Structure 1
Amino acid sequence: MNVMNNNIEETLPLYVNGRLDAEERRQVEKAMAENPDLAGEVEFLQALKDTLQQSADEPPVELGLARLKRDIQQETVDSSPTSANTRRYWKPLALAACLLLAIQTGFQLTPQSTDSDWAPLSGETASQAPRLQIAFHTNATVEQINESLGASEARIVDGPGALGLYTVQLPPDSDVDAIHRQLEGLPFIEEVSAP
């Protein structure tokens, strides 16, 4: 190898590792004597070589990092067919769910039939008679309730509900306001309201 023909800085690692013949070594040493920067570079390379030789029993950090990256990449490659199958599996399910949602929304937005011929199966028809809701005190007796409702010809048609309210139906031609005031005045009635 002819050192003169090559860049002297490129031959410095070969000089530190003892890979140059006698003539090439002499030329590098002459260049180092003329240029103190080259001598500093040789010192640095020699220190680096010594450090690496001392820690030869421990793998360098870069080698460990490269091994870790390789293992992660291998895991990614190995697991990709599974994730591809998973991706193919949920797409039809998502499509079916969207279709079902669209159909359900269509049914909800469709106007409902307004036939007036509908009637309850029990045979009862909706009464046009006025109604009131009454809450009785807990100490009210059956006799008191019967007397107060009998005076106005009202009858209990529903109750008690979850809130303790009874629904009372009045005769069709009755004065609702007068009966309302009369019932509110009784001491065993807590509240009277229109439904």
Structure 2
Amino acid sequence: MKKLITIVCVAILTLPLNRTAGQSSGVSSSLGYAFNDATQEFIVQSQGKEMSKEEEEKLLKSLSPEIKAKLEDVKKLNKDKYYQLLRESSSLSYYFQSSLAERYTTGKALSVYEEVSKERNEKIKKQKELEIDVELYVLKLKNADNANQALLKKDLQSALGQLFDIRESQKQEEVKQLEKRLQELKESLQARKQNKDEIIQRRIQELLGNSKYLRWE
């Protein structure tokens, strides 16, 4: 548990939180990617490890009734898969809210946290429900008779279609943020090119130790 908190803390602290309001969507996306990376690292490290009853109950508390019900169906068919999905579903939502939120009670970090939570919670919930649906349909298909296989395959195809759309939407948002960042870099390069002489003179003053005379105050 402590290891996951450490992983997520590092992921957050390595991101630039002091952005302006106009850049909040970029911060949201960056935090989202950091969360996903932290989750995957934690899941990999947890693979094959036993889960105590106490840990299981604690993780379940952070989940919605809908996800709990789906996971219960998975548990009946494959306990190892159930533990894996439970960790994936609960890790960030539980640990970030219960541990990290207490550390960021004021200031910009809290506002970013609240914004990210508001924007991403519903999307994350829907995506996780679909991922569990996919795993559940696959498990059921492996044990289904011929009469039920066609219906289960149809349900599996539908869930995968919705999951595909969500993932493509995320990729489109990532492309949008990359394009925005590229435009900012182009504008910065143009501005620096136009002010080359001034920038060089300021650097000379810095190197000579005279930069204090160029300060506003």
| Higher helix content, 1 or 2 | 2
Whose Rg is larger?
1
TM-score range normalised by the length of the shorter chain = under 0.3
Q: TM-score, normalised by structure 1?
A: 0.23
Q: TM-score, normalised by structure 2?
A: 0.21
Structure of greater relative contact order (alpha carbons < 8 Å, 6+ residues apart): 2
